[in-house]
Structure 1
Amino acid sequence: MEDIIGHILVGIGRAAIALGEVCVDAGKGIVRGTIGVVKVAGDFMLDEVVEQVLERLVEREKRKKKRIQRHVEKLKRYAWFKALYEDKRCQEVLNYNEACRDLLSKRRYVHKLIHKEDERKAFIQRVRVGAKVNDVIWDM
């Protein structure tokens, strides 16, 4: 009888070990599956975030371009800016130089250009240096 009970206990032990191994394998499968799902979800979310950021940057650039155009049109009403803008070299600096475009996109700076002569002279000088223009008189 003791032999039968011993064999039963050994069988139960082996079954418990086998069940534990099955549970470990199942756990590994669940973890791998979860990691796979998390990777796919993470990649999808990362793609969405990057796409949203790029869309916002494009929208911001479009708004900045429109703002610069409005400010240029506003400044063209003044003789000093009109003379500056009519020179092709200076016009190229105003349209393509990142520093000038950044300044022209700011409402407060455009206001200073209109109302403060010293700021206007500094801006004209900056454009002249960028355009490498020395033969034109800009003091107006």
Structure 2
Amino acid sequence: MESVIEYREYVTAWAAYLGACTVLIIIGCLWTSGIRNTYIRSFIRLVASTVLLLPIIHEDANQVLVPALVVVVLGAFIGNTIAAVKAMNLLVLACIGAGILSAILARLINGFRAKRKARMEVNMSSEISDVAESEIVKGER
């Protein structure tokens, strides 16, 4: 019976943590929406989300995942520096990967926007030329 209670507490703790992270990510997205540069905006958003959401395996129990940020912060205060350093190394590697991924995504987003803008300009120019031709025909009558 004790393992069921521990499992429920584990799931409840993760649910509370993920709920808090969701709120922070939404606030962060609203806060960074004013940044015009797509590369910087996506870098900040993706790296911050990675820092908040990256789980690592607990050093004592192999079946338990814990947030890496919590391990780093608590390891620094409690004195468990070995676990904190391992979590920090993993966190740094994940942030580097998130930075690379954000650059790729920003490049794709900018390419998509450029193609959509070009299509809109072509459509607008064809509509303008259709109107211009009809005005010319009306003027000749």
TM-score by length of 1: 0.42
TM value normalised by structure 2: 0.42
> Higher Cα Rg: structure 1 or 2?
1
